[in-house]
Structure 1
Amino acid sequence: MQLGMLTACLPQWTLDRIAGWAAQAGYEALEVAVWPGTGGRDFEAAHLPVADFGPREADETLALFDKHGLALSAFAYYENNLHPDPVRREEIRTHLKHAIDAAQALGVPYVGTFVGRDWTKPVADNLAEAERVFPELVEYAGERDVKIIVENCVMEGWHPDGYPGNLAYSPELWEWMFDLGLYLNWDPSHLTWIGIDPVETIAPYVDRIVHAQAKDVELDAAARQRYGFFGKVDKGGNPWDMGWWRYRVPGLGQVDWARVVDRLYEHGFTGTLSVEHEDPVWGGDGERITQGLNIAHRTLRPLIVG
């Protein structure tokens, strides 16, 4: 197992700057954000130009990672592959293929995305649509020796009523998507707030957990008494504000990282545990964000065998 970090938390930094900082801070790998450009969400970062990626870009990227002694664990392009707007859906499909092509050029084994959801249709219709959409993408990736990995994020902010916007949030849905040839970028924070013990999900699915994200979550039981499990109705213009929980960097929330890492080791996980920093307390400018990443490193580094 190696300790990495997702670059999306530093959208204004260059990949070279991130790599230099990460290596100095003791991280071993980068999960590189490859959105086509910064967008409506803070974590949409463009750290590699995968849509225009040729031999020169590949050589420069490999030299950069070699210079800093870092591995490139995965690409991150977490978008809605079932978007209701057909034009937007095709844009996402095209860029995902660009990411897969660039991954092949660099020998990156995984490209991360979301199943997503058409929020205008019921779940059953979405599952049927995914069964039409994903086999072609999985085949495209497989021909290039790349696996598509899906994070089990609920993405409730994508749905107008705050319901799940990414149909990959529970083990029931994992089993369905594994049949489509997809793999899991496992994140315990999302499981925790929806009432699933993340530790208990490792053993049954470890053969499909090929990459993992380290993000924590802080729960406020008193606030949940007011809003209920489904969160605020009046979100004040922020669709991601549930009112009774928030993401934290590892060590500052409810996830038991000693148990998580121990169970991953017990069941043979040998991939990258990649810190995904979305902590509002340690957000803001680069200095504040890197302080949060340092907290995460201090929490996790003693648990990972060197």
Structure 2
Amino acid sequence: MRTIKGPALFLAQFVSDAAPFNDWDTITAWAASLGYEGVQVPSAETRLFDLDRAVDSQTYRDEFLGIAAQNGVVVTELSSHLQGQLVAVHPAYDTAFDAFAPPALRGRPAKRQAWAVEQVAQTVRASRLLGLSAMGTFSGALAWPYLYPWPQRAPGLVETAFDTLATRWRPLLDLAEENGVDICYEIHPGEDLHDGITFEMFLDRVDKHPRANMLYDPSHYLLQQLDYLANIDIYHDRIRMFHVKDAEFRPTGRQGVYGGYQPWVERAGRFRSPGDGQVDFAQVFAKLAQHDFPGWAVVEWECALKHPQQGAREGAAFVRRHIIPVTPMAFDDFAAQQADADAIDRALGLA
């Protein structure tokens, strides 16, 4: 077993045009001041990171990592969530997801997809060059509009969607293998990979690719009413990244999982800051430690109620309280006995 690293903070929800959130130097200093030891960086966020320079320039990489180190944090992983979403977009979502692409590509889905694929590839390359071993992303979705089958889905529709998804991702997974980087899909509603079954459907189509792995976030499982602890037991060998995000689900006589089109604060299921929801993080951290999770505990602040800066400040202390420094010995070693084969036979009454 090994001790989980942390706390770290995903910066995506904090970047803005206001100081200290608009600059790599100041945002890393701010994160360190809250007690974070690492930061997870969205590769699409140009206020913090220049993806192409990170691939092309050793000087830039040294400066980027050096500023973080000077401020007291390390870079834990890069994220390509927004670009990964654009690898596969159903036409129903074209307008909404156009916002994730450069203006010149909006309304041009084929060119937008090609750009997204290259962005994910660049994030894989940059991860290796920065000395990182995992990258977080979304899978994108072609079948999501057909989640609830009414009218009946056309035979073969889901299979074709997953075949296509695998075809688009396979070259990126092969590139990840060449670079020694795990692609960790955040298992997330809105993505075709939104639970264990859909992850397995994808995994089968990419021949159990060793670089196709998971970003585990229990909040998304709680809101689906999926057993998020058993999920660790099932998929621990594929879980390579971990978001510490809480949620609560309080169904009423008027709404349940689907939420009645209500805003987040009015939904039966909503995200909360760590410790404010229903996720049993004591057991989550215990299971991840038991299964030798190799990565970081990264706070992702998304809360329907609490101010983000308060959530970030409390999140660092929350993770620190929950990390289990794993034991190098068994608790009953003090009573251990030396025994040879004869002694074992005597103990069993076989002598």
Q: Which runs of 5+ in 1 are unaligned?
A: 38-45, 156-165, 283-287
Query: Which residue matches 2:225?
Result: 195
Q: Is the 8 A contact 1:36 1:51 kept in 2?
A: no
Helix, strand or coil at the partner of 2:168: helix
Q: CA shift at 1:295, angstroms? A: 1.8
Query: Which residue matches 1:43?
Result: none
Superposition pairs of residues 78-89 of structure 1, within 5 angstroms:
78-79=81-82, 80=85, 81-84=87-90, 85-89=109-113
Q: Which runs of 5+ in 2 are unaligned?
A: 91-108, 147-156, 326-351
Superposition pairs of residues 88-127 of structure 1, within 5 angstroms:
88-118=112-142, 122-127=157-162
Residues 259-294 of structure 1: CA deviation (Å, up to 9, x unaligned): 111111111113111111111322xxxxx4221112
> TM-score, normalization: structure 2?
0.74
Quick one: which amino acid aligns to residue 28 of structure 2? A
**How far apart, CA to CA, are the structure 1 residues paired with 2:52 and 2:259?**
38
**How far apart, CA to CA, are the structure 1 residues paired with 2:214 and 2:259?**
26
State whether structure 2 residue 301 is matched by structure 1 residue 277: yes
Superposition pairs of residues 196-215 of structure 1, within 5 angstroms:
196-215=226-245
Helix, strand or coil at the partner of 2:78: strand
**How far apart, CA to CA, are the structure 2 residues paired with 1:51 and 1:120?**
34
Query: Which residue matches 1:177?
Result: 202
Q: CA shift at 1:95, angstroms? A: 1.1
CA RMSD in angstroms comes to 2.1
For these two proteins, the number of residue pairs brought into alignment is 277
Helix, strand or coil at the partner of 1:217: strand
1:74 counterpart (74, 77, 80): 77
State whether structure 2 residue 30 is matched by structure 1 residue 24: no
State whether structure 2 residue 168 is matched by structure 1 residue 167: no
Q: Is the 8 A contact 2:241 2:295 kept in 1?
A: yes
Superposition pairs of residues 283-298 of structure 1, within 5 angstroms:
288-298=307-317
Query: Which residue matches 1:301?
Result: 320
Q: Identify if the C-alpha distance between structure 1 residues 271 and 227 changes in structure 2 by more than 3 Å, giving closer, same or farther.
A: same
Query: Which residue matches 1:147?
Result: 182
Q: CA shift at 1:91, angstroms? A: 1.8
Q: Identify if the C-alpha distance between structure 1 residues 116 and 241 changes in structure 2 by more than 3 Å, giving closer, same or farther.
A: farther
Q: Is the 8 A contact 2:162 2:202 kept in 1?
A: no
Q: CA shift at 1:107, angstroms? A: 0.9
Helix, strand or coil at the partner of 1:104: helix
Residues 7-40 of structure 1: CA deviation (Å, up to 9, x unaligned): 1111121222221122222212111111155xxx
**How far apart, CA to CA, are the structure 2 residues paired with 1:218 and 1:195?**
10
Q: CA shift at 1:228, angstroms? A: 3.6
> TM-score, normalization: structure 1?
0.84
Helix, strand or coil at the partner of 2:286: helix
Helix, strand or coil at the partner of 1:143: helix
**How far apart, CA to CA, are the structure 1 residues paired with 2:117 and 2:283?**
37
Q: CA shift at 1:300, angstroms? A: 2.2
**How far apart, CA to CA, are the structure 1 residues paired with 2:119 and 2:321?**
37
**How far apart, CA to CA, are the structure 2 residues paired with 1:123 and 1:219?**
29
Query: Which residue matches 2:50?
Result: 49
State whether structure 2 residue 164 is matched by structure 1 residue 129: yes
Q: CA shift at 1:70, angstroms? A: 2.2
Q: Identify if the C-alpha distance between structure 1 residues 289 and 270 changes in structure 2 by more than 3 Å, giving closer, same or farther.
A: same
Query: Which residue matches 2:12?
Result: 8
Q: Is the 8 A contact 1:199 1:263 kept in 2?
A: yes
